[in-house]
């Protein structure tokens, strides 16, 4: 039987692999630190360039706003205000006249089922010059009106509709009445 006997004052340790691995990890960490510092420096430079572009754009915007304020003040002068009011009135009348009733009825004819009646239509223009139709429709049953709403949504000319009122039939009126508002894409 053999006994391992070590007569050295300090026994031999195998630390070389641990030291090599620690050195390799240290080198990798130093390389990643250098890469991160480089990325931070380039990011700081690009942010400085972005800030300069934003400052330039804001100064241009301030100049444009000042010019607009000057023009608005000039338009508010008593002599110019009446001309401005008259031009707004004429533009409103032209936009209202541009709504083609013939095209509205042609487009509705394509999606309207035979058993749904249109009782009233009121076209409305919003501030963005978009046209919407406020309609009252009637039918003997609710299903044809639901079919009509599905056809409106599937059409290219009409958009999303909202039902604002629903009236059931009465003794004098056998129709279900619905009040709808639908966006309409008639080019003005």
Q: What tens-digit pLDDT sequence spans the chain (188 residues)?
A: 677 766 666 766 777 888 999 999 999 999 999 999 999 999 999 898 899 999 999 999 999 999 999 988 887 787 787 787 888 888 877 777 777 888 888 888 888 888 999 999 988 877 677 788 899 999 999 899 889 888 888 888 887 788 888 888 888 888 999 999 888 887 65
Q: Does 86 map to a domain?
A: no
Claim to verify: residue 141 and residue 176 sit in the same structural domain: yes
Condensed to tens digits (0 to 9), the pLDDT of residues 165-187 reads 888 888 888 899 999 988 888 76
In a domain, 12, yes or no: no
- Rounded-to-integer distance, Cα 25 and Cα 117, Å: 81
Q: Domain for residue 87, yes or no?
A: no
Distance CA 184, CA 132 (A): 5
Residue 90 lies in a domain: no
**Domain match, 113 and 153 both:** yes
CATH of the domain at 105: 3.30.1360.100
Domain boundary pick from 38, 58, 75: 75
Strand segments, DSSP code E, in the chain are 116-125, 131-139, 158-167, 176-184
Q: What are the C-alpha distances in Å from 12 to residues 9, 19, 64, 89, 154?
A: 9, 15, 82, 102, 85
**Residue that is last in its domain, among 42, 60, 75:** 75
Residue 125 maps to a domain:
yes
* Total count of domains within the chain: 2
Q: What's the rounded Cα separation, in Å, for the pair 120 and 181?
A: 11
Domain that holds residue 131: 100-184
CA pair distance 18, 27, nearest whole angstrom = 14
CA distance 141 to 144: 6
Residues 174 and 110 in one domain: yes
pLDDT of residue 72: 84
Predicted local confidence at residue 65, as pLDDT: 95
Q: Are residues 118 and 69 in the same domain?
A: no
Q: Is residue 85 part of a domain?
A: no
CA 175 to chain centre: 39
Distance of alpha carbon 23 from alpha carbon 17, whole angstroms:
10
């Amino acid at each position: 039987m053999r006994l391992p006997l070590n007569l050295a004052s300090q026994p031999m340790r195998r630390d070389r692999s641990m030291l090599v691995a620690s050195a390799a990890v240290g080198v990798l960490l130093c390389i990643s630190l250098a890469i991160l510092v480089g990325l931070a420096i380039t990011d700081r430079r690009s942010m400085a360039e972005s800030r300069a572009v934003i400052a330039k754009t804001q100064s241009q915007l301030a100049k444009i706003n000042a010019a607009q304020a000057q023009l608005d003040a000039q338009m508010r002068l008593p002599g110019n205000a009446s001309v401005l009011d008259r031009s707004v009135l004429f533009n409103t009348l032209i936009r209202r006249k541009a709504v083609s009733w013939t095209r509205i009825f042609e487009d509705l004819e394509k999606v309207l089922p035979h058993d749904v009646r249109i009782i009233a239509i009121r076209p409305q223009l919003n501030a963005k010059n978009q046209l919407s139709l406020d309609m009252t429709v009637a039918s003997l049953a609710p299903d044809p009106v639901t079919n009509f709403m599905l056809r409106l949504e599937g059409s290219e000319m009409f958009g999303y509709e909202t039902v604002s009122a629903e009236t059931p039939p009465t003794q004098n009126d056998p129709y279900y009445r619905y009040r709808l508002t639908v966006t309409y894409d008639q080019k003005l």
